[in-house]
Structure 1
Amino acid sequence: MILNYKMKEIPKYERPRERLKKYGAVALSNVELLAILLQTGSKDESVLELSRRILYTLERPSMLLNMSLEELKTIKGIGPSKASTIVAALELYKRLIADLNKKKTVIKDASDVYYLFEDMAMLEQEHFYCLYLDTKLKIIAKKQLFIGGINANIITPRDIYKYSIRLNSPSVLFIHNHPSGDPTPSKSDLITTEKLVEGAKTIGVNVIDHIIIGKKSCYSIMLRKQINF
């Protein structure tokens, strides 16, 4: 059985790291994944044997999630270094899951946007942001895309919507500030917005609004119906 062999005795293409490279992590067993973390076994057993023994002594593999550093060190073959690696990997996993499960901010109207971006009113240059939203208008990501005057020749649909595709975001909302404090859109603002709306339609992305942040107030181009969203 391959578990009983030392790693150097296992054909290279059958080793966990090589299988991960070729087939992806999803194709590996729990024993193989743990073996990659542990890296080495001991003089008495291979890293695969050690991994199997650790997992098989647990009632369920998920019990590993709650084991402390000291508890792991009581397992034969697990010293401080291996125990630390396991604890660190599991803690990272817990944090990533917690981040995914965080309550997302829902954008209901322009006031929600102003609440999130009102500090932009103090900026001395124009900053252009895009909020990438899910189907329930919850924020998936916020990206600052440009700094400087808003210009249709500089801000292109390709620059913005490549993230829509990467993030699987069906809707976007644009925000930028006016350092003057007056949020009334300029002609350039309207031309740029119209260009971005038309670009979004070609790939099936919905532009919710373009909010301009001023001092103590904001301006919704969508609500004023100055262009056709």
Structure 2
Amino acid sequence: MAKRPAPSSGHGDMPFDGSGATDGLEDASLFDERLFFAPQTAKSTRGDKPAKPPSTPATPEAHYHGHRERLRNRYRDSGDTALADYEILELLLFRLIPRRDTKPIAKALLARFGTLGGVFGASTKLLQEVSGVGEAVALDLKLVASVAQRMLKSELTGKPLLSSWKALIDYCHTAMAHETREQFRILFLDKRNALIADEVQGLGTVDHTPVYPREVVRRALELSATAVILVHNHPSGDPTPSRADIDMTKTIVETARPLGIAVHDHIIIGKNGHVSFKALRLF
């Protein structure tokens, strides 16, 4: 019967006798230490040449980084007149979406809502329907819209509104033109026609808002207002007054007059402009 070869101990060609002991224990220990401290060189599968360590490919810089810097420089050097609307929107989205190309998102927002005013006037729900716009970005866009409204409203504070008509129309248009439901707003004025309060009295559907003349007058008396300006929007975009708008306005005028409260005007705001009842001599 052939003699079976002795198993290797893993230490070169040193014999293993099956008892767990090796010949030349000190030499084996020294051999182990040399192997342990010797530099470990990876070998390739071809011949005895050491394999080269795998190289890590350089990560290319995102293509939009240079574009962002160029756009910022144009804005810095020439102001907003040097930029298209989508580029202005891009500049804002740079801050809100730091690691994406925001040009397609800016263009998609304008394509969906038509104008910058339409973008900032859209609801957070509608904004999130655009690819790339999440809840956080939608809320930040609405925050910018709120800042714009507050800025325009501050131009009215303490000033006679009848002599600040353009500022009044700009504010109302920013606040209401892009609302998807009708909104009835009342501006309460003191005896100098300065703004006391700006309140939304009712929210309705796409083509109707319930208005109660007695409630309008009651609130004016609570605020010690001597005059009001009525404002509501038409989500359709057309500011032409309806028969119901005219009748409701006349009822408020007739209810307020005996109590010393004047109705200076009723303004209808649409996306495409506005209409003044006073200018049209509708009451």
- Paired letter, 1:113: L
| Pairs within 5 Å for 1:70-219 | 103-108=157-162, 110-119=165-174, 120-148=176-204, 149-150=207-208, 154-219=210-275
Alignment partners' CA distance in 2, 1:202 and 1:222: 20
1:189-224 residue CA offsets vs partner (Å, 9 max, x unmatched): 001101111111121100000000011411000110
- Paired letter, 2:228: V
Secondary structure in structure 2 of the residue aligned to 1:222: helix
Compared with structure 1, are the counterparts of its residues 192 and 179 closer, same or farther at alpha carbon in structure 2 (3 Å cutoff)?
A: same
Compared with structure 1, are the counterparts of its residues 103 and 117 closer, same or farther at alpha carbon in structure 2 (3 Å cutoff)?
A: closer
Alignment partners' CA distance in 2, 1:145 and 1:197: 17
User: 2:239–2:272: 8 Å Cα contact kept in structure 1?
Assistant: no
Secondary structure in structure 2 of the residue aligned to 1:108: helix
User: 2:179–2:235: 8 Å Cα contact kept in structure 1?
Assistant: yes
Runs of 4+ in 1 over 3 A off after TM superposition: none
In structure 1, the partner of 2:137 is none
- Paired letter, 1:106: P
* TM-score computed with the length of structure 1 as normaliser: 0.51
Q: CA RMSD in A?
A: 1.8
1:159-216 residue CA offsets vs partner (Å, 9 max, x unmatched): 1111211111100000000001111101110011011111111211000000000114
Alignment partners' CA distance in 1, 2:208 and 2:216: 14
* TM-score computed with the length of structure 2 as normaliser: 0.41
Alignment partners' CA distance in 1, 2:230 and 2:266: 4
User: 1:211–1:221: 8 Å Cα contact kept in structure 2?
Assistant: yes
User: 2:160–2:193: 8 Å Cα contact kept in structure 1?
Assistant: yes
Segments of structure 2 that go 5 or more residues without pairing to the other structure are 1-155
- Deviation, structure 1 residue 103: 4.8
Q: For CA contacts below 8 A with separation 6 or more, give which structure has more relative contact order.
A: 1
Secondary structure in structure 2 of the residue aligned to 1:184: coil
Alignment partners' CA distance in 2, 1:173 and 1:164: 11
- Deviation, structure 1 residue 136: 1.4
- Paired letter, 2:225: S
User: 1:128–1:144: 8 Å Cα contact kept in structure 2?
Assistant: yes
- Paired letter, 1:181: G
- Paired letter, 1:133: L
Give the number of equivalent residue pairs. 124
In structure 1, the partner of 2:34 is none
Segments of structure 1 that go 5 or more residues without pairing to the other structure are 1-101
Instruction: Percent identity, please.
Output: 32
Comparing 103-112 and 200-209, the one that deviates more: 103-112
